[in-house]
Amino acid sequence: MATTGAYLISPLAEGLGTSEEAVRLILSLHSGYLLAIFQRLFLKKAPPTAYHVFYTLAGLSIVYFNFGIATYHSALSVIVNWALLHLLGGSFRSVVLSFIYNMGTLLLHYYLIGTTTYVINFTTPQCVLTFRLIGLAWDIYDGTKPPEKQSESQKKVVLNRSPTLLEVSGYVYHFGGLLVGPQFPMKQYLLSIQALTSTEEKPPISIMLALQKLATGVLYLCLFTLQTVYFPDDYMISKDFEELDLLSRWGFVFIWGRLFICKLVGVWLISEGACILSGLAYIPGTDGNPPRMDACQNVKIIPYELSGSPDEIIQSFNITTNQWLLSYIYKRMRFLGMRIVSHVVTLSFLGIWHGLLSGYQAAFLFEVAWVRGAREIDDLARRVPVSRVLPAAGVRIVQGAALVARWLFTWTVFSYMLVPFALLVADKWVKVHGLLYWGGYIAIGLALVIGPLLRLCLAPPPRAPTKEPATSSNGTPPSDSSNVDEMTTSDRQNGSVTVDIPSRHLAGPGRDENLQVAESGGRSQEDAQNLVAAYLGPSQKKLLDKFVWEKDENK
C-alpha cells in the first residue's frame, strides 16, 4: 500500500466515504490531463526519445503514488519482456514465453494476495500491461510473415523490428492507458510519437473533446456513488433482501447492475480524454477522410445505453479489450475447429485474467450462453407473423413494445450476470442467484433448447430482393451475419413478417465477418453435411454452418 501523501488522502477518502486506494486512482486518472497539457506545451519540438522518457517517468510516478514499492513489479515486467523480444523477438518461442511469463506472474500474484473481494492494488495496472506485452510479442511475430499471409487487421498493427527499451517503457507507462486501459498496440503508440514530432501535421489538441469525455466520466462516477450508498453489494446477501418478494429482488438487481457498471464506464471515459489530449488517440486522415481521435475509444455511450442485445453491448462496451481478445485469442483458436469452443476458451481466458475467484468464470461463461440465447430470441421474434392479424399501425406499436421489452430483458440479464462478477465468492453469488430462482439460467436455457424447435415451425424472415452476391477481397462470399434486411411492402402484405427487431451484431467472437463458415477437409464429412443440409433446407443449413470454422489461410 502506498503511503505517499497519506496525510492528505486519508481525510479526503473519509469525507467521500470511499477507500484511500480509490481516491488515489481517481486523482491519478485526472492527473493525466495535466501531464498531457504539459506535454503539448513544452515538448512540441522535442525528439521521440524525450517523449519516451517523459511517459516513462510520469507513469512510474503515478504507479509509485498508488502502490509504493510494489512499482517494481511492472518495472521488472518491462525489462524482462524487452530482453525477451531483443533476444527472441519475431519467433514463436518469444510469443509462448511472453504469454507464460506475463500470465504466470499475474496469476501468481492473484494467488499470493488471495483476497475474496475486489481491491485496488498493483495487480490493477499489472493485468493491463499483461495484455499489452503479450500483444506486443504477437505483433512482432506477425511482422515476420509475408504480407500476403497477414490479415487486414494484422497489417494495421504488425511491427517489423523489436522496439528499444525506452520505447517499451514509454508504451507501458503512458499515463493515458496505464491504470485501467484502454488497450492499444505498439504501432499506435509509435504513430502518435511520429505525429507529435512531425514538422507537418500534428495531432489537434482537442481540448473540448477531452473535456467532454472527462465530464461524462465524472457523471458516471457520480451515478456509481448512488449504488454504493443506496444499492450496496452486501445488501443482496442480507436478510432484508431475502424478505423481499421475487419481483422486488429482480428490480433491485436491475437497478444495482445499471449503477454498478457505471464505475467502469466512468474511469474509461476519463482515461480516453487523457489519451485524446496527449495525442495517443490520433488517427491520421486517409483517402480524403479527416483525421480522427478515437483510437483509444473504449465505450460508445449512446449505442451502449440503447443496446438491446449482448452483441450490441459488446460492440460498444470495453471495446479495446474485446478487440484484443478477438485478435490475439479468438482468431488464434481456429485449430479447435468450432466457433463455440473458441468462444468458450476466449471468455474463460478473460475470466482467469480478471482473477482466480469463481465469480469471474461464472460471469463470463454465462455470457457465452447469453449471447447465443439472445440470438435465438431475436431470430424467433423476427419470424412471428403478427402482421397477418394487425394493420400497419398495429405492427408499429408491437415493434415499439418489442424493442422496449428487448431492452429491459437485456439489461436485466446483464445485471444478473454481474452478480457473480461483483460478489466473486461462490457462497455469495450462488445464494443471490438462488434467491432469484436461477431465472437468468432458465430463460437462456429455454431459448437455447426451444428456439431451434420453434424455428422449424416458423417461416424464415424474408429478405429484400438482392443483386448478384458480392465477394470479399479474398474471393469468398461475404459473411451471412449481416444485419437483418428491413421489411418490404410486399412482406407486410403477404403477412410473412411482423416484428422486425434490428440487431447490430458483434464483429467479434462468433460474429466476425472475416471468420466465416468452414469447409471440412474430408469428402465423406462434406457429403454428410450436404445430406443434412438437403434434409433441413437452406435456412436451417445456415444454423448448422455457424458452428464450423472456414479454413482461410489468408485470415
Q: Render pLDDT for 112-125 as a digit per residue (tens, 0 to 9).
A: 998 888 899 999 99
Q: Across the strands, what pairs with 283?
A: 292
Cβ atoms within 10 Å, residue 189: 26
The listed range with the strongest mean pLDDT (389-398, 442-451, 525-534, 546-555) is 442-451
C-alpha–C-alpha distance, residues 130 and 150, integer Å: 24
Q: What is the Cβ-side half-sphere exposure of residue 245, based on CA atoms within 13 angstroms?
A: 1
Residue 287 in any domain: the answer is yes
Q: Which range, of 182-191, 276-285, 432-441, 508-517, averages the lowest pLDDT? A: 508-517
Q: What is the Cβ-side half-sphere exposure of residue 395, based on CA atoms within 13 angstroms?
A: 23
- Report CA 530 to chain centroid distance, whole Å: 36
Residue 478 pLDDT more than 60?
no
Asked if 103 and 217 sit in the same domain, the reply is yes
CA angle (521 as vertex; 515, 523 as ends), nearest 5: 135
Residue 473 pLDDT more than 70?
no
Q: Are 363 and 417 in contact (CB under 8 A)?
A: yes
Residue 469 in any domain: the answer is no
C-alpha–C-alpha distance, residues 56 and 175, integer Å: 9
Residue 330 in any domain: the answer is no
Give the range of the structural domain holding residue 388, as residue numbers without chain letter.
Answer: 345-462+486-514
Residue 294 in any domain: the answer is yes
Question: What is the per-residue pLDDT for 465?
Answer: 57
Asked if 247 and 379 sit in the same domain, the reply is no
C-alpha–C-alpha distance, residues 377 and 508, integer Å: 19
Q: Are 403 and 501 in contact (CB under 8 A)?
A: yes
Asked if 138 and 85 sit in the same domain, the reply is yes
Residue 387 in any domain: the answer is yes
Cβ atoms within 10 Å, residue 335: 7
Q: Percent of the chain, pLDDT > 90? A: 67
C-alpha–C-alpha distance, residues 234 and 419, integer Å: 11
Angle between helices 439-457 and 358-383 (to 10 degrees): 30
Beta carbons within 8 Å of 292's beta carbon, 6+ residues apart: 282, 283, 285
Measured in degrees and rounded to the nearest 5, phi and psi for residue 292 equal: -125, 165
Average pLDDT over residues 438-446: 97
Q: Across the strands, what pairs with 317?
A: 299
Question: What is the per-residue pLDDT for 492?
Answer: 37
- 156: three-class secondary structure by DSSP: coil
Active site residue 354: yes
* Burial environment of residue 153 by CB neighbours within 10 A (0 to 12, 13 to 18, 19 or more): middle
**DSSP designation for 77:** H
Residue 333 in any domain: the answer is no
Asked if 46 and 186 sit in the same domain, the reply is yes
Of the candidates 81, 102, 298, 318, the residue annotated as catalytic is: 318
Of the candidates 343, 354, 433, 505, the residue annotated as catalytic is: 354
**Who wins on pLDDT, 393 or 104?**
104
Of 299, 333, 361, the domain-final residue: 299
Q: Are 121 and 113 in contact (CB under 8 A)?
A: yes
Of 261, 284, 299, the domain-final residue: 299
**Who wins on pLDDT, 526 or 327?**
327
Active site residue 86: no
Asked if 132 and 72 sit in the same domain, the reply is yes
C-alpha–C-alpha distance, residues 83 and 435, integer Å: 52
Asked if 494 and 526 sit in the same domain, the reply is no
**Who wins on pLDDT, 382 or 268?**
268
Single out the residue of 443, 365, 359, 453 nearest to residue 406, CA to CA.
443
Amino acid at 330: Y
C-alpha–C-alpha distance, residues 359 and 325, integer Å: 20
Single out the residue of 132, 274, 133, 277 nearest to residue 217, CA to CA.
274
Q: Are 126 and 66 in contact (CB under 8 A)?
A: no
Asked if 548 and 436 sit in the same domain, the reply is no
Average pLDDT over residues 442-467: 80
Residue 538 pLDDT more than 50?
no
Asked if 292 and 355 sit in the same domain, the reply is no
C-alpha–C-alpha distance, residues 272 and 292, integer Å: 13
Asked if 295 and 405 sit in the same domain, the reply is no
Question: What is the per-residue pLDDT for 199?
Answer: 81
Residue 166 in any domain: the answer is yes
Average pLDDT over residues 354-365: 96
Please state the domain count of the chain: 3
C-alpha cell at 550: 472456414
C-alpha–C-alpha distance, residues 271 and 203, integer Å: 18
Residue 203 in any domain: the answer is yes
Asked if 38 and 88 sit in the same domain, the reply is yes
Asked if 493 and 349 sit in the same domain, the reply is yes
Asked if 525 and 508 sit in the same domain, the reply is no
